[in-house]
Amino acid sequence: MSSSLFELPAIETLSSSISLRQQDELTLVVIDHPTFRAAFSLQGGQLIAWQPLEQAPVIWLSDNSAFTQGKAIRGGVPICWPWFGPAGKPSHGFARTAEWSLATHEESAEQVTLSMVLQQSAETLALWPHDFTLTLLATLSRDSCELQLTIIGDFSSTAALHSYFHVAQSEKVSVSGLGETYIDKVKDNALCSQSSPQTYHGEVDRIFTHPAAESVIDDPILGRKLLITHKGNSDVVTWNPGAELSTSMADMCNEGYKTMVCVETARIHQPFITTKATPAEMSVRITPLTR
């Protein structure tokens, strides 16, 4: 799916590397830079592709994901806010299905930066009675991708940058730097611990509550490690649906679980407390390390 995004015709050219394109019902910001390529959906302010030149894709996107207004995109980096999980309706909040605005964009020979903004509307106020401003600042290059979320308003909220990563074979990868203590969502929120890196054999859905500042996905088949640097978070979530759940998900092909793992920068057990004078920030920086 992600490769076909770069074959869509441009509906508006913003710079030599940046254009607006249409995939079904959604408007995309597509970046075709000399050193990397990437794409965002304005619905959700969501990164849906990033691939440095001459490397395998870093970000995973489902081949079955619908590009439909009001429906979440399966893959990329959905922005879960102002709540994570089933704390409200819709699940994972409304930011990932709301329409964001492209505020700024700049490019150089080395990188592209852009920002997108979401503010309250009649639709959001009906779901959550607060005025707010969300800004996503993205800085992308061949060497790294950084996403910084800024939250402004008078309220408490939880959030996640729900990152889906492309891997060669999920059962062969391991993730370190998650910490030891976790809440196991597969086992009725049981509090558990482990000392070894996380692996993926069957459904995995865990909230690590004392993670390190950096997580590392080790993919021996691709010969690549992904260094994931978290800031402003209290938790790191990791998820893979496994075979049984994957086959029940309409927006994921039956074997989609084999080529992805989620490692999510999250703020769950310590909610953000913000005011207009004291915004909150949370970010993830992704750095591929080839062997």
Tally of CA atoms within 13 A in the half-sphere of 90 that contains its CB: 12
The residue count for the chain: 291
Give me the phi and psi of 197, to 5 degrees please.
-60, 155
- Token pair of 5, please? 């995004």
Active site amino acids: 162, 264
Give the whole-angstrom CA distance, residue 31 versus residue 34.
10
- Token pair of 188, please? 């009725």
- Cis status of the peptide bond prior to 288, with omega within 30 of 0: no
CA dihedral 91, 261, 253, 46 (to 10 degrees): 50
Question: For residue 79, what are the β-bridge partners?
Answer: 161
